[in-house]
Amino acid sequence: MQRPSTEDLTSVEWRDTNWIERVGGFQNQQMVLDYFSMSPFWDRQCNNQILSMQTQYNDLRQPYEATLEALRKMTGIEFAVIHEQPPVWVIQKRYRRGPEPNDVNPIATYYITGANVYQSPTIYSVIANRLLTSLFHVNSAFKETQKWMDFHPAKGYSWKSSKPTSTEKAKGQQGTLRARENQEFRHWMDRAIEASALRIAQNRFVPEQTVVANTPEVGSLTSVATSSQHNNREETGGKRQRKKTDEGNINKRKKKTASGK
């Protein structure tokens, strides 16, 4: 017997929170099926719908166990709650062939989480989707590797080397040259600033030199300058004493000549 087909509604989500608030939640499996019967997943020609139409005008609605016994006596499409673990309920759409409990063929599966109703995807659709996703990534990997392949008529296929090209080398050399020029410029600028500072320190007065003498270079310059000034003073003092002694000797000679006469 050919298996009945069902519409693919895996992208549909349905809910009716007003109905749940009005009835106070799901009390039993019959209320779960009543809530599910308002969704677009319900089949209006199923055996459950036929039984509800037959008993809708009765004053006392038959219990859920009596409904299950009546469904087993019928053949065709029916809905049944196959798993119950609040807030999750699993509903199966199946085709009944006989009165035995397991004499059915599953068609589709639906589940309710809280107030939302969904259609569960089939195993075939899940595996097919995973295979398509994996093949897409494999194809992308092959396309990426083709960018790094090189072909030569004599050598065949080979991987492209990761050596930098001539333009990249030129850019790298320009960068290194600029860095060296900047370092040399900074070095000579520092030397020029130090030389100018030393010249300024040499031209300052002695009180100002003592303030600058904290650095070793300026201190050595000030010591050399003071020693040179001291030596100059000693030399000038010695010359003046010689002049005085020469004048004394001339006076003595004059006195001797005057007494001889």
Residue type at 67 in one-letter notation: T
Q: What is the pTM of this model?
A: 0.52
Q: Tell me, what's the pLDDT at 239? A: 45
CA 210/CA 189 separation, integer angstroms: 26
> What value, to the nearest 5°, has the Cα angle with vertex 152 and ends 149 and 157?
40
- Give the residue among 117, 98, 127, 121 at the shortest CA–CA distance from 108: 121
pLDDT in tens, 64-79: 788 888 888 899 999 9
Is residue 78 within 8 Å of residue 71, measured between CB atoms? yes
Instruction: State how far the Cα of 229 lies from the Cα of 223, in Å rounded to an integer.
Output: 10
Inform me whether the pLDDT recorded for 124 exceeds 80: yes
Q: What is the DSSP string of 167-233?
A: HHHHHHHHHHHHHHHHHHHHHHHHHHHHHHHHHHHHHS-HHHHHHHTTSHHHHHHHHHHHHHHHHHH
Greater confidence, 124 or 260?
A: 124
Asked whether residue 145 carries a pLDDT value surpassing 80, the answer given is: yes
**230: pLDDT strictly greater than 70:** no
